[in-house]
Amino acid sequence: MHPALPLGVPEMDADHAALEAMLDRVPHTRDEDLPALYAAIEAEVTSHFAREDVLMEAARVPVLDCHRIRHRELLDAIAARRPTERTSPDALRRTFAELAEAVTAHVDTVDRVTSRFLIAATAAPLEPAQAVG
């Protein structure tokens, strides 16, 4: 499975593809099952961000603090929109659409920048002959 916005970091791409697949289920999910799907997506986003933090720490990504702030903002927004028993299915479906847009924006901006650092950190160092010539 490949994400719509591949970044070239296998761990991130796999997580993004999984999140996309979950969000793609929304139109086919029965109204009464939407809150459970929201909870599952919230849990997956939380887990994904934890895994991403480990990658960024290991690579000593210089934008780590900024990226973590963006994670916290997105998690706070997801928590603030968590459905209640009074949330209508139509409102929840709109929330899912907004969530998908927010996740896509995060991937295409913050994650895209971070992926460049992660790729550079894992690139094999040049042999002396390659570096000179």
% of the chain surpassing 70 pLDDT: 91
Phi–psi pair at 59, nearest 5 degrees:
-90, -5
Phi–psi pair at 85, nearest 5 degrees:
-65, -15
Q: What is the pLDDT of residue 118?
A: 95
* CB distance 35 to 92 below 8 Å: yes
Class of domain 10-120: mainly alpha
Total-model pTM:
0.88
CB 51: neighbour CB atoms within 10 A?
Answer: 13
Query: Residue 124 region, left (φ>0) first, then alpha (ψ -120 to 50), else beta?
Result: beta
> For the chain, which ranges sit under pLDDT 70?
1-2, 124-133
Q: What is the pLDDT of residue 125?
A: 59
Q: What is the pLDDT of residue 133?
A: 46
Q: What is the pLDDT of residue 41?
A: 98
DSSP 8-state secondary structure symbol assigned to residue 28:
G
CB 83: neighbour CB atoms within 10 A?
Answer: 18
Average pLDDT, the chain: 92
Residues contacting 52, CB < 8 A, separation 6+: 11, 12, 15, 67, 71, 111, 114
Q: What is the pLDDT of residue 124?
A: 55
